[in-house]
């Protein structure tokens, strides 16, 4: 009986050997796959470390454009201005916003390592050049990050204006044909590009002899009579509403800034079309 039992156990062990060998082979295969994945992860981490960083390494949301000696921009920490020593900001331009306060401001939202908001006077050199650069680009071009570089001319005067250089894919954007446009016109063009729309047409006033045409929009009144606007432009309330929706304006009562924005847009669209 003992010999029979031993013989039976030996037969079972022989039957298990192929299964164990197969499992061992699968474990070795998984081990190789795991090793390959670890190498890929290490390579990706190395690649990420070597990529240029978007934005400032330790930036905050609101970046104020203002010259103080050799410092051209700063942020606030605990209500105290902290100079930014970085020379450029790299990121994706997402939108521009007109802020109607005592002194009108331009806010430009840039997505970098976090969201930044560049704040400058609405009619400053920096604002004009930044908006003109955006208006020169296409919606497709703005799917790539840009480099924003504030700059000043020679000299040490604290009150020298701050200019803006925009670099796209290694080349400085030169919006020469747009530099003389009205600031409202530049803002609307930049907004249109960031929304993915075609660039808006431009209406020119009659130039004086020897002068180039000056591009402008209709002035916005303090209070808007929208029925009169529709009558003057020969448009329906539905067409007016469509313009408001294209600007993402809320339904109902608008603020003074929103009304001015709609007034400018509807005059530009239908006076040019007419």
Q: How many domains does the chain have?
A: 3
In a domain, 209, yes or no: no
At residue 148, does pLDDT exceed 60? yes
Query: What is the per-residue pLDDT for 119?
Result: 93
Q: Which two tokens stand for residue 4?
A: 């029979």
259 in the same domain as 182:
no
DSSP state of 83: E
Looking at the fold, whether 41 and 80 belong to one and the same domain comes out as: no
Cα(189)–Cα(179) distance, rounded to whole angstroms?
Answer: 12
How does DSSP classify residue 37?
Answer: H
In-domain check, residue 216: no
Question: How many Å apart are CA 247 and CA 257, to the nearest integer?
Answer: 12
177 to 135, 202, 249: CA distances (angstroms) = 11, 12, 30
pTM confidence score = 0.53
* Between 260 and 71, the higher pLDDT residue: 71
pLDDT at 130: 93
Q: What is the mean pLDDT of the chain?
A: 76
What would the pLDDT profile of 180-195 be if each residue is shown by its tens digit?
A: 778 888 898 898 888 8
Give how far Cα 13 sits from Cα of 4, 8, 10, Å: 14, 9, 5
Q: Which of 62-71, 90-99, 126-135, 138-147 has the lowest mean pLDDT?
A: 62-71
> Are 111 and 21 found together in one domain?
no
Q: Residue 149 contacts by C-beta under 8 Å, 6 or more apart in sequence?
A: 87, 88, 89, 164, 165, 166, 167
């Amino acid at each position: 009986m003992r010999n029979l039992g031993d013989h039976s156990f030996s037969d079972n062990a022989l039957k298990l050997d192929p299964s164990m060998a197969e499992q061992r082979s699968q474990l070795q295969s998984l081990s190789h796959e795991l090793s390959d994945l670890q190498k890929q992860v290490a390579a990706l981490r190395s690649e990420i470390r070597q990529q240029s960083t978007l934005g400032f390494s330790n930036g905050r949301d609101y970046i104020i454009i203002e010259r103080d000696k050799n410092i051209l921009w700063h942020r606030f920490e605990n209500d105290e201005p902290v100079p930014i020593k970085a020379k450029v900001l790299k990121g994706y331009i997402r939108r521009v916003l007109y802020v109607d306060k005592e002194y009108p401001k331009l806010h430009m939202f840039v997505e970098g390592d976090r969201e930044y908001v560049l704040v400058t006077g609405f009619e400053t050199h920096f604002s004009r050049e930044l908006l003109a650069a955006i208006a020169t680009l296409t919606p497709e071009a703005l799917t790539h990050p840009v480099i924003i570089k504030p700059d000043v001319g020679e000299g040490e005067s604290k009150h020298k204006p701050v200019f803006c250089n925009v670099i796209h894919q290694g080349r400085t954007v030169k919006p020469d044909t747009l530099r003389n446009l009205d600031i409202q016109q530049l803002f609307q063009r930049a907004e249109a590009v960031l929304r993915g729309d075609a660039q808006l047409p431009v209406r020119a006033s009659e130039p004086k002899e020897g002068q180039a045409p000056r591009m402008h929009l209709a002035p916005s009144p303090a209070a808007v009579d929208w029925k009169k606007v529709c009558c003057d432009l020969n448009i329906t309330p539905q067409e007016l509403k469509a313009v408001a929706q294209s600007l993402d304006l809320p339904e109902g009562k608008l603020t003074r800034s929103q009304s001015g924005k709609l007034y400018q847009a509807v005059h530009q669209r239908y006076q040019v079309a007419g």
